Structure 1
Amino acid sequence: MVLKVAAEDSPLATVDEVVRVREYNEERDKVAVEKMERLCEMVGQRGKPSLVTDLLGDPKCRIRHFPTHIMLVALLYGEQKEIVGVIRGCVKKVTRGNSEFVKLAYILGLRVSPTHRRLGIGTKLIRHLEEWCKRKGAEYAYMATDCTNEASINLFTLKCSYQKFRTPTILVQPVHAHYKPIPSTITIVPLPACLAESIYRQIYANSEFFPEDIDAILSSALNLGTFMALPRKHLPKWNPQMSTFPPSAFAILSVWNTREVFKLQLKGVSKLTQACCVGSRLVDAWLPCLGLPSFPNVFKQFGVYFMYGLHAEGKQGLRLMKGLCNFVHNVGRDDHGCAAVLAEVSQRDPVREAIPHWRKFSWAEDMWCVKKLTEAKQPSDWINSRPSSTMIFVDPRDF
């Protein structure tokens, strides 16, 4: 389908420019897409510190782990044909609360060339992706962005009819040179994938966004494992190899190795700031007994671990969760390519208080916007309903 670009408050838009949206072809488009996305990152810095994402030479790597996914590109036909926009999306089945499942589309990775913005290209990419998602049976679509990203929020809410829906919190813990303490009264055990799946299906049955294919996530090569923290005195009474239910007091989480998907790098920071960060690492390494927090080397490419499925039960649950998060930090500390450990949870989730993080590097609100794609009548409207649980399951493949 060939679409003319509609002028949207821009004197640069002309009716002679024509845009065609089609599916990404790795052989033909890879170099052009990478070039355009690097240009978007360079323009986005504007002399300020900027976090740059490198998708490890594979523009589709963030969506390949979904069984149903697509990547679209926008080509501008003028004096020469060039790629001026890109968008990614997938379709999965998730809970909407109260054990009800719906087909949901996730939209991510929308980029438009800086020289062709405000011409309606982003809107057209979104609409083409929505049509594809509807053909795949999606009933709703959602996107996530930083609550301060007004341009993205306005595009989706004002032009594409999305509604602000949920605002979970992203918590970031830099990986220090020293190990974090784990109380001797806590035991941490790895769980078999089948047991982890069973426990998660019980815990998140009434939550939102829990994926039906949790088994595929837990068995993925990017999943570093699922771990449970227990009071040491409980361990002899509970065998993870034989049990089918969790004990009365525990904390659980899984770890996703995002550094195998993309690398991050902080650019635009002064040399003085970099020197101060190096100094903090030296002090941390020479005098670990002081437990001084250090700033990892984020000025070179680094990876992160993403913790998901975080849940705690019992009176000691939050203490167990803190110890479990420290355990993940220590694993990341031994992995020299990991500079931070992240988690994303609902603002009302009690476990939020037990997750170690630095406030300066965390996001108080990660804006999730949702749109209904079909006209089919349903027993209740998910978009306007209240959350059925204090928990939200954040799919690590979305991150």
Structure 2
Amino acid sequence: MSLKISDESSWQKTSFVKVKEESLIVIREYDEEKHKVAVEKLERLCEVGQRGKPCLVTDLLGDPLCRIRHFQLHVMLVAEYGEDGEVVGVIRGCVKTVTRGNSAYVKLAYVLGLRVSLRHRRYGIGTKLVEHLEEWCKQKGAKYSYMATDCTNEPSINLFTKKCGYSKFRTLTMLVQPVHAHYKSISSNIVVLHLPPRLAASIYNPIFANSEFFPKDIDLILSNKLNLGTFMAIQKKYITKCDPKKGIFPPSYAILSVWNTKEVFKLQVKGVSPIAHACCVGTRLLDECLPWLRLPSFPNVFRPFGIYFMYGLHMEGKCGKKLMKSLCGFVHNMARDEGGCGAIVAEVSKRDPIREVVPHWSKFSWDEDMWCIKNLEDIHEKCGPFDWFNYRSSSSMIFVDPRDF
């Protein structure tokens, strides 16, 4: 079916897509009073449409803006259809300042939450939502725009790379550790320090200065109510010899921060076969009958659950690996005590040595989180100082913003 797009390009004005002679698609900014119920319905319908196989369903806890409202610059656009204004598409985005490597900062847009009604796909609605969001981001000063999706999500990748001009950029590893009934043991020779936000920011800044995607507003992230804290693991024998406030660190240490996503959204696994479901239940029953075996029973992910997201992971020294494993165990125990938390998750660069250290279950982790990026500047400027495509950071680390997750 052919589409006729109006010449109107500003995101602030009404844009029309002629699907049929008498039918119009209008793209406008989200109005909570007018659109909230319809957007929630669209989100649920899109999830149902993906259930040809087991899938992870996301519940935004009644707040369509929850995944972006922690960014200072954010927007949500909807696509309305027909005279009744039926919501048939939605997209979210934000703008932040991040490192490009070697302490260079650039304004970057993040595109997420693109949904189009099953009945209205292949009409170019998704493309127009992306274009209007990009226009908003450019007006806010963004030089680049990026999105993230699973490498197996061909429709999403094709939309962005073939129709919207994005390029495949980085592939990250998602490490997932289910939370089970037993505590992780931590050596008595290891001490875990809880660092205040300002001190944590002062430690993170030099560590990630040469990395990619490290946010300039890290202090706001660390002081956010969803941040459960920044923790540093050191050997007990150095407890009186180090003073992080003065920049005095032991020969070996590990550091990370924890973000409480279960206050933002809940996840639920659906579409699993009865056999797989029974096996998961069986591990919990066996663990209850034989608790002394300390079996890593599978948590109940078939009802809504939350996760803790670990970010800012870094280790130093010959004992760094052992300290990082203990620190991850500490976070697991936090999640177990809190309740309602089904997993702890970390996302890291494939070149980051931390990837081989963080405890995880390989069957529930994957190496295929694809990031795609686009230069939003004019074509003749692409060979200028912000040509990220031909630039390779000297650091192996990529900082994953917990607000993106």
Q: TM-score scaled by structure 1? A: 0.95
Letter in 2 for 1:171: L
Letter in 2 for 1:182: I
Letter in 1 for 2:46: C
The answer on whether the counterparts of 2:16 and 2:27 sit within 8 Å (CA) in structure 1 is no
Q: Secondary structure at the match of 2:159?
A: helix
Change (3 A) 1:332 1:257: same
The answer on whether the counterparts of 2:147 and 2:373 sit within 8 Å (CA) in structure 1 is yes
> Aligned pair 1:385/2:402, yes or no?
no
Moved more, 96-105 or 14-23: 14-23
How far apart, CA to CA, are the structure 2 residues paired with 1:362 and 1:112? 28
Letter in 2 for 1:225: G
Letter in 1 for 2:344: V
Partner of 1:10: none
Change (3 A) 1:245 1:161: farther
Q: Secondary structure at the match of 2:367?
A: coil
Please state how far the C-alpha of 1:335 moved relative to its aligned partner. 1.6
Structure 2 counterpart of 1:72, from 68, 77, 86: 77
Partner of 1:305: 308
The answer on whether the counterparts of 2:178 and 2:344 sit within 8 Å (CA) in structure 1 is yes
Partner of 2:243: 239
Q: Secondary structure at the match of 2:267?
A: strand
How far apart, CA to CA, are the structure 2 residues paired with 1:64 and 1:335? 24
The answer on whether the counterparts of 1:178 and 1:285 sit within 8 Å (CA) in structure 2 is no
> Aligned pair 1:54/2:59, yes or no?
yes
Tell me the alpha carbon deviations over residues 129-155 of structure 1, each in whole angstroms, 9 at most, x when there is no partner: 000000000000000000110110000
Please state how far the C-alpha of 1:316 moved relative to its aligned partner. 0.7
How far apart, CA to CA, are the structure 2 residues paired with 1:247 and 1:286? 44
How far apart, CA to CA, are the structure 1 residues paired with 2:155 and 2:32? 29
Change (3 A) 1:39 1:380: closer
> Aligned pair 1:331/2:343, yes or no?
no
The answer on whether the counterparts of 1:50 and 1:267 sit within 8 Å (CA) in structure 2 is yes
> Aligned pair 1:252/2:226, yes or no?
no
RMSD value over aligned CA atoms?
1.4
The answer on whether the counterparts of 2:102 and 2:393 sit within 8 Å (CA) in structure 1 is no
Please state how far the C-alpha of 1:245 moved relative to its aligned partner. 4.6
The answer on whether the counterparts of 1:143 and 1:370 sit within 8 Å (CA) in structure 2 is yes
Change (3 A) 1:85 1:380: closer
Partner of 1:44: 50
How far apart, CA to CA, are the structure 2 residues paired with 1:32 and 1:361? 33
Tell me the alpha carbon deviations over residues 35-64 of structure 1, each in whole angstroms, 9 at most, x when there is no partner: 111111111102x21110000000000000
Please state how far the C-alpha of 1:287 moved relative to its aligned partner. 3.1
Taking the TM superposition and a 5 Å limit, the aligned residue runs for 1:190-339 are 190-240=194-244, 242-339=245-342
The answer on whether the counterparts of 1:176 and 1:284 sit within 8 Å (CA) in structure 2 is no
How far apart, CA to CA, are the structure 2 residues paired with 1:275 and 1:57? 31
Please state how far the C-alpha of 1:286 moved relative to its aligned partner. 4.1
Structure 1 counterpart of 2:369, from 356, 366, 369: 366
The answer on whether the counterparts of 2:325 and 2:358 sit within 8 Å (CA) in structure 1 is yes
Taking the TM superposition and a 5 Å limit, the aligned residue runs for 1:137-156 are 137-156=141-160
The answer on whether the counterparts of 1:199 and 1:245 sit within 8 Å (CA) in structure 2 is no
Q: Secondary structure at the match of 1:307?
A: strand
The sequence identity of aligned pairs, in percent, is 66
How far apart, CA to CA, are the structure 2 residues paired with 1:345 and 1:15? 49
How far apart, CA to CA, are the structure 2 residues paired with 1:83 and 1:112? 9
Please state how far the C-alpha of 1:4 moved relative to its aligned partner. 4.3
Moved more, 217-226 or 331-340: 331-340
Change (3 A) 1:221 1:2: closer
Letter in 2 for 1:222: L
Structure 2 counterpart of 1:14, from 8, 15, 20: 20
> Aligned pair 1:132/2:133, yes or no?
no
The answer on whether the counterparts of 2:112 and 2:147 sit within 8 Å (CA) in structure 1 is yes
Please state how far the C-alpha of 1:247 moved relative to its aligned partner. 2.9
Change (3 A) 1:380 1:262: closer
Please state how far the C-alpha of 1:5 moved relative to its aligned partner. 3.1
The answer on whether the counterparts of 1:178 and 1:284 sit within 8 Å (CA) in structure 2 is no
Please state how far the C-alpha of 1:3 moved relative to its aligned partner. 3.9
Letter in 2 for 1:226: T
The answer on whether the counterparts of 2:255 and 2:313 sit within 8 Å (CA) in structure 1 is yes
Partner of 1:31: 37
Q: Secondary structure at the match of 1:32?
A: helix
Partner of 1:395: 401
How far apart, CA to CA, are the structure 2 residues paired with 1:187 and 1:154? 48
Letter in 2 for 1:236: T
How far apart, CA to CA, are the structure 1 residues paired with 2:183 and 2:78? 45
Structure 1 counterpart of 2:100, from 92, 96, 100: 96
Please state how far the C-alpha of 1:209 moved relative to its aligned partner. 0.1
Please state how far the C-alpha of 1:271 moved relative to its aligned partner. 3.6
Please state how far the C-alpha of 1:2 moved relative to its aligned partner. 4.4
Moved more, 189-198 or 270-279: 270-279
Tell me the alpha carbon deviations over residues 99-157 of structure 1, each in whole angstroms, 9 at most, x when there is no partner: 00000000000000011001000000000000000000000000000011011000000
Tell me the alpha carbon deviations over residues 155-208 of structure 1, each in whole angstroms, 9 at most, x when there is no partner: 000000000011110100000111111122211111111111011001001000
How far apart, CA to CA, are the structure 1 residues paired with 2:167 and 2:22? 34
How far apart, CA to CA, are the structure 2 residues paired with 1:237 and 1:388? 32
Q: TM-score scaled by structure 2? A: 0.93
